[in-house]
Copies of this chain bind each other. A is one copy, B any other.
């Protein structure tokens, strides 16, 4: 399978079984602040980020690996906590940590780096890609958006639950009507643009429909990173239930816009439309880690 998705798909042996596989990283100073957060949460976040890519393709977790680079002065208690966070989160999502590598940086100032590889298997009728959106499709999102990174270093970006069960349930429920999916790591504006771009379409989001997290603004919902919610293109005439059926705790589902033909070849990929009907370019609303 070509590049461009959250995970790659690899055929294993002649039997025809296939595997989804991907890698993601958490780096001190970019995705977490290691001296303000307990290290079990860093390990857990690294595992959750990788598992969120499994959710984005509606895969079933199989196993995981982690490679870690520690600063030389790392405390034993912190290292143990990091491993615990990785292990426990992997177990909780049925992706047991089966291997890894640990190295130690040369200098104490060098940042803790955690890279997690996930293996998953596709579920019927196959993985959901980024590129399947069609003209007229609904843009649907799980959960709430914005304000994921609190000033004290905490917030949703550390606590989020990869939407693996939700994705599997939605795939089962919608089948081939679930045309495309991605997880929101860089803001709903930017990630909606990725779905539109992969399909050669434009996407219009309605600002009044965005499911805002408490205290989050529309700008925060559009541009904040690390929501890790699912963003989908669903066939136009589908009735979207208010929550994902059969999932506890309840996971909100909201139709927030629509995919259209690109009006001109150089038109913006993402338009944000307000209640009065005025539309602005939102292609660049998003989060650059480390910028």
- Interface flags, A49-81, vs B, CB<8A=1, else 0: 000000000000011011101000000000000
A103 at the interface (CB under 8 A from B): yes
Given contacts A12-B12, A99-B7, A121-B12, contact A65 B110 (CB under 8 A): no
Question: Do B115 and A21 touch (CB < 8 A)?
Answer: no
Question: Which single member of B29, B63, B110 contacts A111 (CB below 8 Å)?
Answer: B110
A15 at the interface (CB under 8 A from B): yes
Q: Considering the complex, give the chain B residue whose CB is closest to the CB of A65.
A: B23
Given contacts A15-B17, A62-B10, A66-B23, contact A111 B105 (CB under 8 A): yes
Q: Which of A1-31 contact B (CB under 8 A)?
A: 3, 7-8, 10, 12-13, 15, 17, 19, 21-25, 27, 29-30
- Write the nearest CB–CB distance from A271 to chain B, whole angstroms: 29
Question: Do A101 and B21 touch (CB < 8 A)?
Answer: no
Q: Considering the complex, give the chain B residue whose CB is closest to the CB of A26.
A: B103
A94 at the interface (CB under 8 A from B): no
Q: Once the chains are docked, how many angstroms separate the CA of A115 from the CA of B103?
A: 11
